[in-house]
Amino acid sequence: MSTEKKVWTHNEPLFWSLFGAGGVVTGFFTPILVLIVGLAVPLGLLSDKTMAYDRILAFAQNPFGGLILFFILTLSLWHCAHRIFHGMHDLGFHPGAWTRIFTYGLALIGTAFVGVSLVVL
């Protein structure tokens, strides 16, 4: 094997890995989450008590619950940011550094908000 020191030369593998992980998480969790939080509870099909403040707060404060929330939310955001960024190319724009900063930046801001929120709780 080569004995050269490995140097970090490309960022893309990092974003692509997050894309992959996020795709798996989104593929399995988004349908039921949207169904419950976005439709069933607002429509009254499920009792309001399922989303009561105390209940959700307890879930988020729980270390496992917090970790689950963190990974589902943030990995999905990174997945979508990666897809949107590369989708710009399909639309005919040739996205440069600023588009990358904007799309991944939104994912990063989302990650920061979720991370800080769950630590503070």
Partner 1 sequence: MSRNPYQPKMARRWYLSTPAFRAYTVREASSLFIGLWYLNLVCGVTSLVKGAASWDSWLALQTHPLMMLFSVVTLLLALYHSTTWFSMTPRVMPPRIAGMNVNQPLMVAAHWLGLAAVSIIVFVATLWGVSS
Examine residue 39 and tell whether it contacts partner 1 (CB under 8 A): yes
Give yes or no for residue 55 binding partner 1 (CB under 8 A).
Answer: yes
Among 12, 14, 38, 105, binds partner 1 (CB under 8 A): 38
Q: Describe the chain by its helix, strand, coil percentages, rounded to 5.
A: 80, 0, 20
Member of 7, 17, 28, 45 binding partner 1 (CB under 8 A): 28
- Is 64 near partner 1 (CB under 8 A)? no
* CA nearest to 82, candidates 10, 9, 30, 14: 14
Rounded Cα distance, 118 and 65, in Å: 10
Q: b vs e for 90-108, b when ≥16 Cβ sit within 10 Å of the residue's Cβ?
A: eeeeebeeebbeebbeebe
Interface segment toward partner 1; rule CB under 8 A; list 1-9, 10-18, 29-37, 94-102: 29-37
63 binds partner 1 (CB under 8 A): no
Per-residue DSSP letter, 50: G
Which parts of 90-109 interact with partner 1 (CB under 8 A)? 90-92, 106-107
The answer to whether 19 touches 79, Cβ cutoff 8 Å, is: yes
| Contacts with partner 1, residue ranges (CB under 8 A) | 23-24, 26-39, 41-43, 46-51, 53, 55-57, 60, 69, 73, 76-77, 79-81, 83-84, 87, 90-92, 106-107, 110, 113-114, 117-118, 120-121
